[in-house]
C-alpha cells in the first residue's frame, strides 16, 4: 500500500494541520503572511457553494463558520439543489450580492457561466474569492481549491498499484457535466492511459446516488467478469460502488473519493482499498480567511491550495489525515 505521494504532497500534509488548532492557521497555509484583522461582527461573508445537501459541503460550511467566529464575521452559506443547477447557483450568487455582504466566496459549478454576475459583484466593489474550483475570470482575487485532476490521478496511481498495473478498471463518476465531475473522471483516465498501458479502462458510467451507483457497479461487474477494480468519484458513488461489489460477491478493488462514516468504516475494515480526501473544513476556513484579508485590502496569491491526500487503512488515523475526514 502506498501513502500520500501526490504531486503536491508536501503542502498537503503541511496545510492539513487544519483549523482545529487554528490559533495559528495563517502560518500553516497562507503563503502571504498578512495578519488577519478582527471584524466588528456586523459584516457578512457570503459563501455560494455547489451544494448543501452533502456532508462535504457541510464540512466546508463548518470550516467557514469557524473562521467567521474566530474573526468576528457573520457567515452565510448557500448552494444549489444539485451539481447541474448552474442557473440556480448564479441566482443565489446574485441574491447574495443583493444582501450586500462584505465579501463573497464562490464555488462555481460551471467555470464559464458566471461572468456577468461576477462583473456586477465587481462593480459593487465586493471582493470575491473562488473556492473548490476555479472560475474563467480575472475577477476573483484568489482561488482556494483542490486540484481535482491531480487528486484523481493520485487515485488512479493507487488503483494501478493495488491491481498490479494490469486488468480491467471501471469508473463510476458522480457527475457528467460539472468541471469537478469531469476532472475527477478525466484525471483518473489520463493517468491510467499515460502510466498503466496494461490497464483496460471501461467507459465511465455516471451515478450520483448510492442506489444508482450500486446498481451501476453491479452491471459493470456482471458485464465484465474479469474486472479488477472500480473507482467511485465521490462519497455516494464510492459507497454505492462498494455495495455493488459486495452484492456481486466479486473480488474487486474499490477506490473512492471523499469521506463519510460508511466510507471510513469500509476503509478501516479493508472492504475499500482507500480513497482520496480533500480538506473541506480547511477549504471553508481558508476561503473566509482570504475574504477577510481581501476586505482588509491585502494582496492575495493567485491560488491557495487546500490540498488532498490518499488515505487507507494504514494512515486513516494519522492526525493530519484524520483532521480532514468527516463522518
Footprint on this chain of other proteins (rule: CB under 8 A): 52-55, 57-58, 76, 78-79, 81, 84-87, 90-92, 94-96, 98-100, 109-110, 112-117, 175-177, 203, 205-206, 209-211, 214-216, 218-220, 222-225, 235-236, 239-240, 243, 247-248, 260-262, 265, 326-327
Cα gap 194→196, rounded to integer Å:
6
Q: Under DSSP, is residue 116 helix (H, G, I), strand (E, B) or coil? A: helix
**Closest C-alpha among 89, 293, 271, 272 to residue 180:** 89
Return the bridge partners of 303, or none: 143
Output the DSSP codes for 120-154: HHHHTT--EEEEES--SSS-SS-EEE--HHHHHHH
Return the bridge partners of 311, or none: 275
Instruction: Closer to other proteins by CB, 6 or 291: give it.
Output: 291
The minimum distance between CB 214 and other proteins, in angstroms, equals 7
The minimum distance between CB 197 and other proteins, in angstroms, equals 22
**Closest C-alpha among 21, 46, 14, 24 to residue 287:** 46
Instruction: Closer to other proteins by CB, 117 or 160: give it.
Output: 117
Determine how β-strand 128-132 pairs with β-strand 274-278.
unpaired
Instruction: Closer to other proteins by CB, 157 or 206: give it.
Output: 206
The minimum distance between CB 90 and other proteins, in angstroms, equals 6
The minimum distance between CB 145 and other proteins, in angstroms, equals 19
Cα gap 234→284, rounded to integer Å:
18
The minimum distance between CB 109 and other proteins, in angstroms, equals 8
Buried b (16+ CB within 10 A) or exposed e, 33-52: eeebeebeeebbbbbbbbbe
Instruction: Closer to other proteins by CB, 300 or 325: give it.
Output: 325
**Closest C-alpha among 51, 49, 50, 54 to residue 64:** 49
Instruction: Closer to other proteins by CB, 131 or 326: give it.
Output: 326
Instruction: Closer to other proteins by CB, 171 or 300: give it.
Output: 171
Instruction: Closer to other proteins by CB, 243 or 306: give it.
Output: 243
The minimum distance between CB 253 and other proteins, in angstroms, equals 19
Q: Scanning the structure block, which residue is given the C-alpha cell 477506490?
A: 255
The minimum distance between CB 8 and other proteins, in angstroms, equals 27
Cα gap 211→230, rounded to integer Å:
16
Amino acid at each position: 500500500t502506498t501513502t500520500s505521494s501526490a504531486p503536491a504532497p508536501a503542502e498537503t500534509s503541511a496545510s492539513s494541520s487544519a483549523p482545529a488548532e487554528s490559533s495559528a492557521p495563517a502560518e500553516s497555509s497562507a503563503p502571504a503572511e498578512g495578519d488577519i484583522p478582527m471584524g466588528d461582527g456586523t459584516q457578512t461573508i457570503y459563501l455560494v457553494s455547489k451544494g448543501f445537501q452533502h456532508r462535504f459541503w457541510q464540512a466546508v460550511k463548518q470550516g467557514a463558520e469557524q473562521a467567521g467566529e474566530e474573526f468576528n464575521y457573520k457567515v452565510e452559506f448557500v448552494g444549489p439543489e444539485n451539481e447541474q443547477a448552474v442557473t440556480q447557483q448564479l441566482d443565489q450568487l446574485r441574491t447574495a450580492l443583493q444582501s450586500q455582504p462584505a465579501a463573497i466566496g464562490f464555488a462555481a459549478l460551471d467555470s464559464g457561466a458566471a461572468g456577468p454576475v461576477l462583473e456586477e459583484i465587481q462593480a459593487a466593489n465586493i471582493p470575491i474569492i473562488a473556492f473548490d474550483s476555479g472560475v474563467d475570470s480575472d475577477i476573483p482575487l484568489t482561488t482556494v481549491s483542490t486540484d481535482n485532476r491531480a487528486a484523481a490521478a493520485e487515485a488512479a496511481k493507487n488503483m494501478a498499484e493495488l491491481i498490479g498495473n494490469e486488468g480491467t478498471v471501471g469508473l463510476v463518476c458522480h457527475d457528467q457535466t460539472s468541471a469537478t465531475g469531469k476532472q475527477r473522471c478525466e484525471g483518473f483516465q489520463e493517468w491510467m492511459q499515460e502510466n498503466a498501458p496494461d490497464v483496460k479502462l471501461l467507459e465511465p458510467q455516471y451515478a450520483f446516488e448510492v442506489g444508482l451507483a450500486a446498481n451501476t457497479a453491479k452491471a459493470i461487474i456482471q458485464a465484465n467478469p474479469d474486472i479488477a477494480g472500480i473507482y467511485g468519484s465521490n462519497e455516494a458513488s464510492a459507497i454505492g460502488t462498494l455495495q455493488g461489489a459486495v452484492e456481486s460477491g466479486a473480488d474487486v478493488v474499490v477506490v473512492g473519493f471523499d469521506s463519510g462514516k460508511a466510507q471510513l468504516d469500509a476503509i478501516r475494515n479493508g472492504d475499500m482499498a482507500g480513497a482520496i480526501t480533500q480538506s473541506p473544513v480547511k477549504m471553508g476556513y481558508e476561503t473566509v480567511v482570504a475574504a477577510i484579508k481581501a476586505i482588509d485590502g491585502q494582496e492575495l496569491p493567485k491560488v491557495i491550495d487546500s490540498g488532498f491526500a490518499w488515505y487507507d487503512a494504514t494512515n486513516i488515523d494519522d492526525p493530519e489525515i484524520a483532521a480532514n475526514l468527516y463522518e
